[in-house]
Amino acid sequence: MNTFMKNRELNNLSISKKVYIFDFCLFWLSILYFVSNVELFMDNIIFLEIQNFVELFFYFLLIYVIFNKKYTEKQLAIIIVVTSLLTYGMYKSGMSAFVFAWLLIVASKGEKYTRLIKVLYYSLLISFVIGIGCYIFTIDWESFVFQLKTGLTLGFVQKNQTGLIFAYLYLMKKIWNNKIEKPRKELVHTIVYSGITFLITRSKTASVVILLYPIFMYIYELATKKKNKCILLITKFLVPFLFLFNYILGKTFLISEFSQFVDKILTNRIFLNWFLLSKNSLTLWGQNVQLNYTGIHNPIRDTWNITTTVDNGYIFSIVVMGIIPTILFAIGYMKIIDIAWKEKNLKTLTIAVIIALYGITEIKTINIFFNFVYLYLNSKRKKDYIYKKRR
């Protein structure tokens, strides 16, 4: 009996050590990524060099964690092959988002999903506080007064990025917080939080994203209860559809009135997609491309001296990350929907769809720290009957 208890304690200690290592990796990788969006650090060469070095360290540390998980030799062989291919894609594109997403998903086996999201929540919250601190010590009075009218950046590059953080703090907390609220009370809280987000940042997109949460929760409660296969089909193929839809809109921008109409709604984003697609061909494994141009002419609106960027996660993924990694990304989303629907996890279904829609106006959704539902694929999960409990 004593021997059995000792062995059990050793096993628990071993598991605890592995959990600690994974949480350590997740926290520091995410906080480095979040802090890199703070304006003071964004173009800081020293910070970027430190970030690259630390990422390399965690790349090997995550591989160590994976080999200490309970995977069969066949599974490990598949993991090694996929990791090698995605690492090659990282080399071609200069972007590490997908390879780290894959490593974190594989290494998350056996970890509690809600705990992982809580780690990301506090990582983002700490980064937000760092951003605000930098903002307070660097902002001048004239800029502050101007931003009171247009939206506060709070230390980040632009107000939409600040709005993004408000939205994600809200969504992340919904995953790990087990507090049960009545639907009407939650709706009121959501409206208030969305209003505060808009008043501070003037970000319409972030405010709408927050408001979508209780709406989609209600839709998926009814859909899962009635086993509505049509809703399941639409939800499952949403991301593949959005990849194709955004690509077609971008390619037909000059000749399609519908594309031009959508461009007006999305404030010039279809034009930006068209410009990037016109400058670059698609590749299987990605490419390192120039994303920003100045002095560009929009032939449809006849406007000059435009500075281009990329605000669409789907076009960014196809052009920069490559076709094959993008297909794997879409398959992963479809698998999330399958599992969450089967387990009736309303929160994950809702947030997965919200993030998918957010990707139309935000490239950060290709990163697992902002598309955290991908951690749902391989971690410990439980069914979510929250609406049944609240009624």
Q: What is the pLDDT of residues 262-293, one digit of tens each?
A: 999 998 999 999 999 999 999 999 999 998 88
Span 113-151, pLDDT tens digits: 999 999 999 999 999 999 999 999 998 888 899 999 999
In the 8-state DSSP scheme, what is residue 268? T
Q: What pLDDT was estimated at residue 4?
A: 41
Q: What pLDDT was estimated at residue 12?
A: 47
Q: What distances in angstroms separate CA 257 from CA 112, 253, 301, 315, one per listed residue?
A: 48, 8, 12, 20
Q: What pLDDT was estimated at residue 383?
A: 62
* pLDDT band for position 302 (cuts 50, 70, 90): confident
The model's pTM is 0.91
Length of the chain: 391
Number of helices followed by number of strands (H, E) in the chain: 18, 2
Q: What pLDDT was estimated at residue 43?
A: 84
Identify which of 326, 298, 257, 344 has the alpha carbon closest to the alpha carbon of residue 93. Answer: 326
Contact at 8 Å (CB) between 128 and 104? no
* pLDDT band for position 301 (cuts 50, 70, 90): confident
Span 202-231, pLDDT tens digits: 999 999 999 999 999 999 999 999 889 999
Q: What pLDDT was estimated at residue 173?
A: 96
- In 3-state terms, the chain is what percent helix, strand and coil (to 5)? 75, 5, 25
Average pLDDT on 337-350 reads: 94
Span 10-33, pLDDT tens digits: 444 444 455 578 999 999 999 999
Contact at 8 Å (CB) between 30 and 369? yes
Q: What pLDDT was estimated at residue 306?
A: 81
Pairing type for strands 296-298 and 303-306 reads antiparallel
Gap between the Cα atoms of 355 and 358, Å rounded: 5
Span 97-108, pLDDT tens digits: 999 999 999 999
Segment (H or E) for 10: helix 2-35
Span 146-165, pLDDT tens digits: 999 999 999 998 999 999 99
For the beta carbon of residue 189, count every other beta carbon within 10 angstroms. Answer: 13
Gap between the Cα atoms of 16 and 34, Å rounded: 26
- Angle CA 111–116–117, to nearest 5: 145
Q: What pLDDT was estimated at residue 13?
A: 44
